[in-house]
A = this chain, B = another copy of it.
Amino acid sequence: MALIVQKYGGTSVGDAGRIRAVARRVVDTAERGNQVCVVVSAMGHTTDELLGLAASVARLPHPRELDMLLSAGERISMALLAMAVNELGREAVSLTGAQAGVVTDTRHGSARIVDIRAQRLRDTLGRGVIAIVAGFQGVSSEEDETTLGRGGSDMTAVALAAALGAAACEIHTDVEGVFTADPRIVPDARRLRSIAYDEMLELAASGAQVLMTRSVEVARAHGVPLHVRPSWSEGEGTWVREEKGMERPIISGIAHDRSVAKVVIWGVPDRPGIAARVFRPLAEAGLNIDMIVQNVSAEGRTDISFTVPSADLARADPIVAGIREAVGAEGAVTDDDIGTVSLVGAGLRTHPEVNAELFAALADAGINIEIISTSPIRISCVVRRAEVDRAVRQIHDRFALGEESIREEMIPPSARFAS
């Protein structure tokens, strides 16, 4: 008997019919002899509707009250799912974040889980009862409701799986798994059967939407095998797990991100400590800076470039202006018309030729690279936003990522996707 954590997102529990379908699936899992702990998000557009109500009573709703409001959403979906499971003749009980022991800090709207006190959950599962837990929410040390921010339900699922020592944490979602590139851009993108935590982390950090970086980090830290799978079928999706001792593919996939903007501060006096003076004010403002590049010029001046999320650009603008003045730079410019394209693969460590091949692919397509940034298993390029799709397709083709890697069994793609 295995203990399985299953997470279902808002679309999967979007109406009564879908809730009944999820209940069927949960019961099937239990009837195969598993202990099942289910984590659910709020139904479909509930969260948006609640946010709309909040906006109609207050210009800037208090974060604590916003969390109290939003926490109602999962209560509705989880109670309905528990009823639907009971209706199928299996005992189920819904548990709020607090009842499931999800203890967080007090940062309302983006709380971090600090502890899982899973005794009640363990007792429930131990009695053979299916536990339906509210995702996205917890209780703070001050006994207030908190929410975990974007991707919070995945985070709940992974944290519970870690605390319970689950055999797997299944993320049931509206895609078939993790692909070599976004299938909406690259029609022959291939579903990965498995991927290592490290590569998944780089893909997620580079714009892949299927999983949030935070939950992958926690899964890696606790060795929780993740299974990203389609919510509408019993087919296999993509396993995210430790891949030590296996031959890992040279390249895992391509991620892209259109929601970033570029900042360039040029003609900065090239003195020791200058980078700290540039980046400290940005860090203090809580801005999420990425892809920092510094080019030393010949005349004792240097140019510093970096990316920020587009959503933070308005907030970054005055800070950048202040920095320019404070460090005596010649100028600063921000640009919200860019995107990033990233190639991720463990093999980049040992195959330096991949870099050159990537640059050549973009050059052949006439796509200009504005910033390059690399990690041991990733190369990212900033290009014009309008060129992002073309760049993704170009790289996917050049490395023939639509074809089987050395790790995949030789079964026809049609069979693999017919899940």
Contacts and interface: CB of A to CB of B under 8 A. Distances in A.
Interface of A: 16, 19-20, 23, 50, 53-54, 56-59, 61-62, 64-66, 68-69, 71-73, 75-76, 78-84, 86-87, 93-94, 96, 99, 120, 143-145
Contact of A75 (B58, B69, B82): B69
Q: Which of A73, A76, A82, A86 has the most CB of B within 10 A?
A: A76
Contacts of A23: 57
A53 B84 CA distance: 11
A53 B77 CA distance: 10
Contact of A82 (B62, B78, B80, B94): B62
A50 B66 CA distance: 21
B75 A20 contact: no
A44 to B, nearest CB: 12
16 contacts: A19-B57, A20-B57, A50-B76, A53-B76, A54-B83, A58-B84, A65-B80, A65-B82, A65-B94, A68-B78, A68-B79, A68-B82, A68-B94, A68-B96, A72-B73, A75-B75
A23 B61 CA distance: 14
Contact of A57 (B16, B59, B144): B16
3 tightest A-B CB contacts, nearest first: A69-B79, A16-B56, A72-B72
Contact of A79 (B66, B79, B99): B66
Q: Which of A69, A79, A86 has the most CB of B within 10 A?
A: A79
A93 B66 CA distance: 11
- Number of copies of this chain that the complex holds: 2
Given A71-B75, A75-B68, A75-B75, A80 B54 contact: yes
Contacts of A69: 75-76, 79-80, 83
B71 A83 contact: no
B80 A53 contact: yes
A53 B78 CA distance: 12
B99 A83 contact: no
Contact of A76 (B62, B72, B86): B72
A66 B78 CA distance: 11
Given A64-B93, A143-B99, A58 B72 contact: no
A224 to B, nearest CB: 27
A20 B23 CA distance: 39
B68 A86 contact: no
Contacts of A83: 54, 57-58, 61-62, 65-66, 69
Q: Which of A56, A66, A73 has the most CB of B within 10 A?
A: A56
A328 to B, nearest CB: 44
A19 B61 CA distance: 14
A144 B93 CA distance: 10
A61 B23 CA distance: 14
Nearest to A76: B72
A356 to B, nearest CB: 56
Nearest to A49: B76
A72 B96 CA distance: 11
A64 B19 CA distance: 18
Given A62-B86, A83-B61, A86-B65, A53 B94 contact: no
Given A19-B57, A65-B86, A66-B79, 8 more contacts: A53-B76, A53-B80, A58-B84, A58-B86, A64-B93, A65-B79, A69-B76, A96-B145
